[in-house]
Structure 1
Amino acid sequence: SKIVPLLVLLDFVAAFGNLLPSRRDVAKPELLRLLPCMAVGCTLGVIFLLNLKSDLLLLLMGLFISAYAIYSLWVKTRPTQLSVVWALPMGTVGGMFGALFGSGGFLYAIYLNSRLPKEAARATQSALISCSTVVRLSLFAIAGVYADLPLLVLAVCLLPAMVLGLWFGRRLTLRLSREAFVRLVTWLVLASGIALIGRYLST
């Protein structure tokens, strides 16, 4: 109840921080394909959140993203571009994970990085996350979550580190080739999956 609203608040600032300097690179056709799927996924995520145990969801997410990351790193020969049909599952599951865990962007990254140049993929993903966070931020604000002063103070304390991370990440992606960038993202996804599984097993 506290962490997810905090993540949404930081995601909102981060997404617009990435979007503003690169908004002209946004691929509108891909954005329009993913947005309806993301909306459906958010709705499903809320339903699952209210009806499933959170520890089971944590395990399922960890297993899913770890399996995909291992597949991506292991299999060398695969299509260089995903079909537009993949917008449906990637957008829907990404929206669902965003509602459940505050983080579904890795699925958008997988889809967009396979279809777009690096800058266009990053800009389009920032646009998607911006749309998602606006909706969730509005709902949390209406519910009065952000009336909690300590939560806002914590967000302000975390902002400098987030801004530094945005600056460093942007410089890093500009220096890497597309292949190296995708591989780095995949390793980060795998590390996240393993951490989630470890967290489930430690509870």
Structure 2
Amino acid sequence: MNELLALGLPSYLVILLVLLCAYIIFGVAGFGSALIAGPFLAWYIPVAKIVPLLALIDLCAAIINVSRDGRSANWPELKRLVPLMMLGSLVGATLLLNIHPEALMLALGLFVVAYALYALLGRRPQRTFSPRHAIPFGSVGGVCSALFGSGGFIYAIYLSGRLPDKNAMRTTQVTLIGLSTLTRVVLFALAGVYLDTSVLWLAVCLAPGMIMGVVIGRRLTLKMSREQFLKVINVVVLAAGVMLVVRYFVG
């Protein structure tokens, strides 16, 4: 609660606006909220509280989306990806404890930037992936989630080449992110992070920005063609790659 009192009304309104923009992207793409919200929140909120705070808000956003559009999710794809995501997360956590992931961060960031630019420039036909491609994409997505706190852009690349329906793609993506975030929330809860009630108060007070963003994002998605939707996805994927490269050089 002290953080809320220290923010003041102008700062609080700025944060709400940032959350609104971040969750419009989340409502459209099914991921990417942390890319926008994280750096801005660091100006106002202690960094140690940002990850558990966004995990809690992301989980709530995923629940809202899945409760409304859960029937559109492609469950065969989820059954393929979720076990691989969990296995990849275990591998990523092990790597995080034993190596310095900076080189991996740079290599992955450059690959993602190149892929997104290639897709946005229209230099390739629409790629169709086979079910066996779930093995590298699912496992690498899990590794990225553990190493860098974000794997949604990896799943987005795979799902864009598997699901022709944009609503199915978005809802499947949101469900994946929700399951991944649920794992983090449970771990934070077991570690006692949420015993600090200031994190819970912040989540409650910032929830209006998230809810409005998710609603607006969903409505925008319903009005988009598949081509427009994929362009948005590739822009967010590009932003994810750029952020990884920036994090490598900034440290």
For structure 2, which runs of at least 5 residues remain unmatched after alignment? 1-47
Pairing 1:39–2:101 present: no
Aligned to 2:148: 101
Calculate the aligned-residue CA RMSD, in Å: 2.0
Question: Of 143, 159, 166, which aligns to 2:214?
Answer: 166
The 1-side partners of 2:49 and 2:99 are apart by 19
The 1-side partners of 2:107 and 2:214 are apart by 29
Asked if the contact 1:8–1:102 (Cα under 8 Å) also holds between the matched residues in 2, the reply is no
Asked if the contact 1:61–1:193 (Cα under 8 Å) also holds between the matched residues in 2, the reply is yes
TM-score in terms of structure 1 length? 0.89
Aligned to 1:148: 196
Deviations 1:128-182 (A, max 9, x none): 2222222221121111111122222232233222212211211111111101111
The 1-side partners of 2:138 and 2:154 are apart by 7
The 2-side partners of 1:188 and 1:161 are apart by 20
The 2-side partners of 1:28 and 1:193 are apart by 28
The 1-side partners of 2:58 and 2:222 are apart by 21
Pairing 1:127–2:127 present: no
Pairing 1:201–2:238 present: no
**After the TM superposition, which of the residue ranges 177-186 and 122-131 deviates more from structure 2?**
122-131
Asked if the contact 2:153–2:240 (Cα under 8 Å) also holds between the matched residues in 1, the reply is no
Which structure has the greater CA radius of gyration? 2
Pairing 1:88–2:135 present: yes
For structure 1, which runs of at least 5 residues remain unmatched after alignment? none
Aligned length: 203
Deviations 1:167-202 (A, max 9, x none): 121111111110111111111221232233234323
By how many angstroms is 1:2 displaced?
3.3
**After the TM superposition, which of the residue ranges 18-27 and 122-131 deviates more from structure 2?**
122-131
Aligned to 2:123: 76
Tell me the amino acid that sits aligned with residue 165 of structure 1: G
The 2-side partners of 1:118 and 1:136 are apart by 27
TM-score in terms of structure 2 length? 0.73
Q: How does 1:13-28 map to 2 (within 5 A)?
A: 13-28=60-75
Q: Which runs of 4+ in 1 moved over 4 A?
A: 54-58
**After the TM superposition, which of the residue ranges 139-148 and 150-159 deviates more from structure 2?**
150-159
By how many angstroms is 1:38 displaced?
0.5
Asked if the contact 1:81–1:114 (Cα under 8 Å) also holds between the matched residues in 2, the reply is yes
By how many angstroms is 1:87 displaced?
0.7
Tell me the amino acid that sits aligned with residue 40 of structure 1: L
Question: Of 59, 67, 82, which aligns to 2:106?
Answer: 59
Q: 1:80 to 1:199 in 2, by over 3 A?
A: closer
By how many angstroms is 1:54 displaced?
5.5
The 1-side partners of 2:103 and 2:206 are apart by 29
Q: 1:62 to 1:174 in 2, by over 3 A?
A: same
